[in-house]
C-alpha cells in the first residue's frame, strides 16, 4: 500500500500532526525454531498496561498463523487480537486479514488466552477460520484512516465456551460518549514501539476523545468518520508514555465498563507512529455500534464471504510456497500485511521497519 502526502516532513513537525501506524504484528517460526525468539522490532503490547485475566475479559481471543500440519510453520505470537461474537463467529479488524491469502488460509483462533507463550503446544483449544467477511466499503489505505475497518471470521468448528457469558456484550446506544466513563483496552501488543515486553495479556485504562479533537491529531484527520472512536491515556512518569494500544493489539477490543458489565465499543484499528507518544490521541478504534446490522447479517448467514478457506487450498498454498523457497519447514516465513509495520509512505508488503 503506497500512501502519498503533499505535506512536507517539516510542515508535519511544526503542526505536530501524527502519522498513523497500523497496529498488527508478525512473528513466524517453524518447528525447528525457538518460539521465544521473535524477529527483532517486529513483535508488538498495550502501553502502560497491567496484567489482565480472561476471567475478567472472557470474550477476548487471539489470532495465530498455524501451518504446522502443512509445512511446520506457525507464528510464535498472535498477529492480531479479536473477540468472540458467538462460538463460531469472531470479530476483528479488516486490516488484520485483508488481501493476505496466507492469513486467510491458515489463521486459527485461540480463545481466552492469557499467556501467548503457550501456543502452539500448551493451549486448551483452537479453531481454524473457514470464511472471512469484511465490508465492501472497507478502505485499506492509511490515507483513508482505514475506513470501515471491521471483519468477521467464521470458524470451521465451534469453540467450547459459555455461549452466554463468554461472548461480546454490545452496547445498545452511544451513551458512553457522554460524560466521564470508564474504558479499558485489552491486548497482546507491544508495551512500547518495537518492544515485546511480556507474553501476558495486558489492559490499560483509556479516556474518550471527541472526534473533532481526534481529527486534528492526524495528517489525514479529515478522513476520520463518525464510525470511528478515539481515546488517549494517562501519562506515566515511569515510561514517559501515555496509556494506549500498540502493534499486535489490532483487532482487539476497547471495553466500556457499564456498571458491572464490560461492553465492547470498539475494535483496535490504528494509532500514532510512536505508541503512547501523543497526549492528544493514542488509539483509534472502529466503533462497532455503527455496524450492528452488518454484524447480525453475517451471523445470520445472509452475507457472502469475501474468502472461503478449504483444506485443498491450504495444501496447495503450502506446497507452492515451499517449492518457491518462500517458506517450508526449517526456515522462517514472512507474509503480507501481518508483517506490515510501516509508517506513512511505506509499502504494504514490507516485513519490518
Task: Please name each of the domains of the chain with its CATH number.
Answer: 22-41+58-167+293-339 (2.40.10.10), 175-290 (2.40.10.10)
Alpha-carbon distance 235 to 29, whole Å?
A: 35
Residue in 21, 30, 8 with CA at minimum distance from that of residue 190: 21
> CB-based burial of residue 139 (10 Å sphere; 0-12 exposed, 13-18 middle, 19+ buried)?
middle
Please tell me the pTM assigned to this model: 0.82
Where helices occur in 150-309 by DSSP H, the ranges are: 211-215, 292-300
Question: What is the pairing mode between strands 283-287 and 307-308?
Answer: unpaired
Alpha-carbon distance 286 to 92, whole Å?
A: 10
Q: Does residue 257 have a pLDDT over 90? A: yes
pLDDT in tens, 7-21: 333 223 323 455 565
Report pLDDT for 259: 92
Residue in 3, 43, 41, 35 with CA at minimum distance from that of residue 19: 3
Q: Cβ atoms within 10 A of the Cβ of 278, count?
A: 22
pLDDT in tens, 295-336: 999 999 999 999 999 999 999 999 876 654 333 322 223 333
First to last CA, the chain: 14
Cα R_g (the chain), whole angstroms: 19
Report pLDDT for 194: 64
pLDDT in tens, 128-154: 999 999 999 999 998 999 999 999 999
Amino acid at each position: 500500500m503506497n500512501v502519498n502526502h503533499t505535506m512536507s516532513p517539516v510542515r508535519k513537525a511544526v503542526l505536530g500532526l501524527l502519522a498513523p501506524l497500523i497496529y498488527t504484528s508478525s512473528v513466524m517460526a517453524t518447528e525447528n525454531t525457538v518460539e521465544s525468539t521473535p524477529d527483532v522490532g517486529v513483535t508488538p503490547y498495550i502501553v502502560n498496561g497491567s496484567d489482565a485475566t480472561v476471567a475478567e475479559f472472557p470474550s477476548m481471543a487471539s489470532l495465530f498463523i498455524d501451518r504446522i500440519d502443512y509445512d511446520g510453520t506457525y507464528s510464535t505470537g498472535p498477529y492480531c487480537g479479536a473477540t468472540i461474537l458467538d462460538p463460531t463467529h469472531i470479530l476483528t479488524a479488516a486490516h488484520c486479514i485483508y488481501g493476505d491469502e496466507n492469513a486467510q488460509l491458515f489463521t486459527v483462533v485461540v480463545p481466552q488466552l492469557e499467556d501467548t507463550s503457550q501456543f502452539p503446544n500448551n493451549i486448551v483449544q483452537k479453531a481454524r477460520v473457514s470464511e472471512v467477511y469484511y465490508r465492501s466499503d472497507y478502505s485499506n489505505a492509511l490515507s483513508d484512516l482505514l475506513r470501515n475497518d471491521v471483519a468477521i471470521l467464521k470458524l470451521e468448528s465451534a469453540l467450547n465456551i459459555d455461549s452466554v457469558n463468554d461472548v461480546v456484550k454490545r452496547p445498545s446506544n452511544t451513551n458512553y460518549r457522554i460524560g466521564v466513563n470508564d474504558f479499558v483496552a485489552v491486548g497482546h501488543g507491544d508495551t512500547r514501539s518495537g518492544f515485546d515486553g511480556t507474553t501476558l495479556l495486558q489492559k490499560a485504562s483509556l479516556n474518550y476523545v471527541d472526534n473533532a479533537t481526534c481529527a486534528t491529531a492526524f495528517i489525514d484527520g479529515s478522513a476520520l468518520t463518525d464510525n470511528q472512536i478515539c481515546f488517549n491515556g494517562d501519562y506515566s512518569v515511569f515510561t514517559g508514555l501515555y496509556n494506549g494500544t500498540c502493534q499486535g493489539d489490532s483487532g482487539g477490543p476497547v471495553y466500556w465498563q457499564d456498571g458491572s458489565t464490560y461492553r465492547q465499543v470498539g475494535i483496535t484499528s490504528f494509532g500514532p507512529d510512536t505508541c503512547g507518544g501523543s497526549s492528544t490521541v493514542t488509539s483509534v478504534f472502529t466503533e462497532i455500534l455503527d455496524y450492528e446490522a452488518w454484524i447480525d447479517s453475517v451471523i445470520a448467514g445472509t452475507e457472502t464471504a469475501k474468502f472461503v478457506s478449504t483444506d485443498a487450498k491450504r495444501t496447495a498454498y503450502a506446497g507452492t510456497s515451499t517449492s518457491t523457497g518462500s517458506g517450508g519447514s526449517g526456515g522462517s516465513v514472512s507474509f503480507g500485511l501481518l508483517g506490515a509495520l510501516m509508517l506513512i509512505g511505506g509499502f504494504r508488503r514490507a516485513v519490518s521497519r
